[in-house]
Structure 1
């Protein structure tokens, strides 16, 4: 196995400012990639500095990927800087509210879907013309085992959509030399988010519901633990690399045995 599997490749990582996205960006930098790091948080600039310190060329795109305009702007910037996109890692998403479905307002449901489905839809649509024209490319979508879980139904539905589009895009574009896979991440230990998804303080009831998610996630894992960011990153980079050259249309659960 090469220690620099992405030497010279242009890789777009969305949601790169924190958590798994940051881990993916820095791992790719260490393996020789030319990076485009996308986020709507200025924290992405700190990640870019870390990646540059590892020797990677880095373009930062401050964009809102819940919109088509943001995705289009991201890919246009990548093509203007590097002339191509060889790998796209779609990492934007995450539960905003944790509560029984009947407690969600219509506005909250729409916000969850905008956060966890539309960025992947938009970015795949934006990058495909370049990949089809070059008859090569790799897309790795970050999904979740939360497609079978409690207290986050809109998020589960969004990630189910990501899984479906992963399978269908792979079927549609294998003829174009494009591989499309997903990693369904399990519960993952990460530092506290510096910019939380939900900035409102949680009530005692909301804290209990959130704890319910944690308890269910640990119980559903055969290993009965959360994973690490590195354990998720290694799976994502494997599917993005040529080591997975005969794998497409696959959703790989990385949840300690929880298949999602």
Structure 2
């Protein structure tokens, strides 16, 4: 154990920032981190985040809310600084903010592309960058750091999703960002992982409409709270993995297996176009078939 020895919850003594905390998964994460003893800084573009912070405090936890665009450079800096100034430290960043603007690519507007990229991808980078800089300074000063970042990708980002080219690209970018940050931040004592959750939120209500009714067991498989236990573990000092993406839905959790080098074809000269038809056919025959794109 580190200096954050658990005395009153799995995350006791830790300070966590949770973005997109005004509803859905972010709200569930906020409540779970607080239940596990963390002090939380909650961010959202909607004032609903203030009600979530009040909910945390009413349950006996400590929370402050920040209504701001987390993709804005100065807003991201402010959220990190607020955590440090309010609670004296920062231990965990949960990047959860996200939007979708579904459209087939041939009909997608520039604004629909730009908004999704800004909120989802830049909205992960900005707080990640400011938090990591604070942890780097602590590490260089010789202070112990046991920091955690939990990013939010998606099955759409891992496999693709018809009608969600912008969303899928942004979530694939988050998975790649997670891998790079895990390597770059390891020297500072920061572990970086991501989740690809399936849950019923305002963004996915239409997708999971058929699963709105609880089964006979009483277990609501699409409840966002089902995801938050994994996020709390990944955000705690007990976490011991980095650079990984976990899929989670209901009571099922799995480790996503990303791109890997397949079996190569090699020769000691460049390939000519007329050679490559047979070569590609052989490579495809030897490789595992890709998982199908959602909606294909």
Q: Contact 1:14–1:39 (CA<8 Å) still a contact in 2? A: yes
From 200, 203, 225, the counterpart of 1:189: 200
> Residue 178 of structure 1 corresponds to which residue in structure 2?
190
Secondary structure of 1:254's partner? Answer: strand
RMSD over equivalenced CA pairs, Å: 2.5
Spell out, residue by residue over 1:90-143, the C-alpha distance to the aligned partner (whole angstroms, 9 max, x if none).
Answer: 010131x22211110112111110121111010101111211122321101111
Task: Give 5+ residue unaligned stretches, structure 2.
Answer: 1-5, 140-144, 210-219, 257-290, 292-296
Q: Contact 1:100–1:152 (CA<8 Å) still a contact in 2? A: yes
Greater Rg over alpha carbons, structure: 2
Q: Contact 1:84–1:130 (CA<8 Å) still a contact in 2? A: no
Secondary structure of 2:43's partner? Answer: strand
Task: Report the TM-score, using the length of structure 1 for normalisation.
Answer: 0.82
Q: CA deviation at 1:226?
A: 6.3
* Distance verdict in 2 for CA 1:85–1:74, change over 3 Å: same
Task: Give 5+ residue unaligned stretches, structure 1.
Answer: 198-209, 216-224
> Residue 206 of structure 1 corresponds to which residue in structure 2?
none
Name the CA distance, whole Å, in 2 between partners of 1:226 and 1:154.
Answer: 27
Secondary structure of 1:227's partner? Answer: coil
> Residue 231 of structure 2 corresponds to which residue in structure 1?
236
Q: CA deviation at 1:243?
A: 2.6
Residue 86 (str. 1) matches residue 94 (str. 2): no
From 103, 125, 131, the counterpart of 2:129: 125
Q: CA deviation at 1:258?
A: 10
Task: Report the TM-score, using the length of structure 2 for normalisation.
Answer: 0.72
User: Which moved further from structure 2: 232-241 or 250-259?
Assistant: 250-259
Name the CA distance, whole Å, in 2 between partners of 1:253 and 1:164.
Answer: 15
Q: Contact 2:244–2:255 (CA<8 Å) still a contact in 1? A: no
> Residue 71 of structure 1 corresponds to which residue in structure 2?
76
Size of the aligned set, in residue pairs, is 232
